């Protein structure tokens, strides 16, 4: 019984202390700093190869030699890019994918910065019975950035003759 009396008294004193204690004061905090930070950046864009010459694009088919696509293009003036920055692609399953030049058969680019001619023969273009191919090129810039694709849509006649070829630009 003595324990109960001590515990009861202690509990009563605790409640009485809470009742008479002053309430917790609310405060308002603020922080200011006179230092400022600033930054700026610029986004680089890699220019797309431009069509050049007449005709800008052509497609032919020769029996036993296969298809031949010729694309006339140039690097944008003052861009600082060279032919070695070029990457080739072909449409596979509706998507333009970079390809290895060895898959193209024979591919050659000649010319000067005022105008280049890229000729693709054989390889993926070989099709004695005609057909079509979507071949493209783009510029690979720093930081693995790429230009849009310069796209050649070529159709080849069966066996022998001149087909059609048109150039357009498509996002990478």
- pLDDT (tens digit, 9 = 90+) per residue, 75-88? 998 889 999 999 98
Q: Quick one: pLDDT at residue 100?
A: 59
Q: Is residue 82 within 8 Å of residue 75, measured between CB atoms?
A: yes
Considering only 17-31, 45-59, 136-150, which range has the smallest mean pLDDT? 17-31
For the chain, give the percent of residues with pLDDT over 90. Answer: 28
CATH fold of the domain at 50-170 = Immunoglobulin-like (2.60.40)
């Amino acid at each position: 019984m003595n324990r109960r009396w001590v515990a009861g008294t202690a509990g009563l004193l605790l409640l009485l202390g809470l009742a008479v204690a002053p309430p917790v004061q609310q405060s308002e905090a603020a922080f200011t700093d006179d230092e400022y930070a600033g930054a700026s950046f610029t986004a680089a864009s890699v220019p797309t190869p431009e069509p050049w010459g007449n005709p800008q694009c052509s497609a032919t088919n020769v029996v036993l030699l296969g298809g031949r696509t010729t694309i006339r293009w140039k690097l944008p003036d003052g861009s600082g890019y060279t032919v070695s920055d070029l990457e080739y692609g072909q449409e596979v399953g509706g998507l333009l994918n970079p390809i290895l030049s060895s898959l193209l058969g024979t591919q050659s680019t000649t010319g000067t910065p005022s105008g280049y001619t890229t000729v693709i023969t054989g390889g993926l273009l070989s099709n004695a019975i005609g057909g079509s191919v979507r071949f493209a090129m783009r510029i690979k810039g720093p930081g693995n950035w790429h230009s849009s694709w310069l796209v050649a849509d070529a159709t080849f006649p069966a066996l022998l003759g001149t087909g059609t070829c048109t150039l357009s630009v498509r996002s990478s």
